[in-house]
């Protein structure tokens, strides 16, 4: 369960987020949709305690992120890139991540297998392709088998097979009663995966509801999105 209430933030003089409120519920995949620079990543970073909000609260399972004692067992997060240092191996990266939350070492090999990185686990992260880096980031997010997944542009850099695999993984997580929040600017992909949609534009919520509610009378989610954001061109 993710609850974001009235979150606001400025960077310098510009207000990057104002009055952001939405929920991501267990058992559902929630899509966070918006053009580049709309405030998707900023919101997710505030939710994960990386950036500070000036107003409002962002709670995971009823707690602000920094109050979680073993956060990996509650929230798995995938932000841009791999989140690993380039000169470590994939396995060494996951080992310290696991150790930081007291997770058993055996989990490392399990998640490596799950994301299909077992063979590349001994190679340095700098040699990974974009897609492999994303898989490593996802492996770290899944280490603690968390109830909540927060993913920023998860399909970015994945090949078509990887995109389909990611979609199935996310739907399975939701089907088992977990909460999934993902951001994307790929409308077609999102419409295939999500149950609920939150649309953000210029740092404000433009629309939120179930996929059907947000699509409304429009033919597709993409049409609805351009109608909401006025970015049709």
Residue 79 or 206 having the CB closest to another protein: 79
Give min distance, CB of 86 to another protein, in A: 6
Instruction: Determine if 129 is a binding residue for another protein (CB under 8 A).
Output: yes
Count of alpha carbons within 13 angstroms of residue 116, beta-carbon side? 12
- Asked if residue 109 binds another protein (CB under 8 A), the reply is no
With CB under 8 A as the contact rule, the residue among 62, 87, 219, 232 that binds another protein is: 87
Q: What stretch of H or E contains 152?
A: strand 148-152
9: phi then psi, degrees, rounded to nearest 5: -155, 140
> Site for another protein (CB under 8 A): which residue of 8, 26, 35, 49?
49
Indicate whether 85 belongs to the interface with another protein (CB under 8 A).
Answer: yes
Quick check: 73 binds another protein (CB under 8 A)? no
Q: b/e per residue, 40-71, with b = 16+ CB within 10 A? A: bbbbbbbbbbebebeebebbbeeeebeebeeb
Alpha-carbon distance of 130 to 208, in angstroms, equals 31
* Among 10, 99, 164, 212, interactor with another protein by CB under 8 A: 99
Strand partners, 15: 10
Q: What is the largest CA-CA distance in the chain?
A: 52
Please state the three-class secondary structure of 123-142 as a single string: CEHHHCCHHHHHHHHHHHHH
User: Does residue 128 touch another protein according to CB under 8 A?
Assistant: yes
CB 198 within 8 A of CB 168: no
Which residue shows structure tokens 């088998």? 145
Site for another protein in 145-174 (CB under 8 A): 156-157
Q: Which of 6, 10, 57, 86 binds another protein (CB under 8 A)?
A: 86
Rounded to the nearest angstrom, the gap between the alpha carbon of residue 87 and the centroid of all alpha carbons in its chain is 25
Q: Does 125 bind another protein (CB under 8 A)?
A: yes
From 31, 34, 39, 71, residue interacting with another protein (rule: CB under 8 A): 71
- Tell me the number of residues near another protein by CB under 8 A: 47
Q: Is 95 in the site for another protein (CB under 8 A)?
A: yes
By the rule CB under 8 A, 142 interacts with another protein: no
Does residue 60 interact with another protein by CB under 8 A? Answer: no
Residue ranges binding another protein (CB under 8 A): 45, 48-52, 65-72, 75, 77, 79-89, 92-93, 95-97, 99-102, 125-130, 132-133, 140, 156-157
């Amino acid at each position: 369960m993710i609850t974001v209430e009235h979150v606001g933030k400025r960077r310098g003089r510009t207000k990057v987020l104002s009055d952001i409120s939405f929920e991501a519920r267990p058992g559902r995949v929630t899509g966070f949709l918006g053009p580049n620079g709309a405030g998707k990543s900023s919101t997710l970073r505030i939710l994960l305690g990386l950036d500070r909000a000036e107003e409002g609260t962002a709670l995971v399972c009823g707690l602000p992120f920094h109050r979680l004692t073993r956060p990996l067992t509650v929230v798995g997060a995938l932000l841009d890139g791999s989140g690993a240092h380039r000169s470590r191996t994939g396995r060494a990266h996951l080992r310290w991540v696991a150790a930081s939350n007291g997770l058993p070492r055996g989990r490392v090999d399990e998640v490596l297998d799950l994301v299909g990185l077992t063979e590349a686990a001994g190679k340095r992260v700098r040699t990974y392709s974009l897609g492999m880096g994303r898989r490593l980031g996802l492996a770290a997010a899944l280490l603690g088998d968390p109830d909540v997944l927060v993913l920023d542009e998860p399909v970015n850099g994945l090949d078509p097979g990887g995109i389909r695999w990611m979609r199935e993984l996310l739907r399975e997580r939701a089907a088992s009663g977990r909460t999934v929040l993902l951001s994307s600017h790929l409308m077609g992909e999102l419409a295939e995966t999500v149950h609920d949609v939150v649309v953000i534009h210029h740092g404000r919520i433009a629309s939120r509801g179930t996929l059907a509610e947000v699509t409304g009378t429009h033919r597709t989610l993409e049409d609805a999105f351009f109608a909401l954001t006025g970015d049709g061109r």
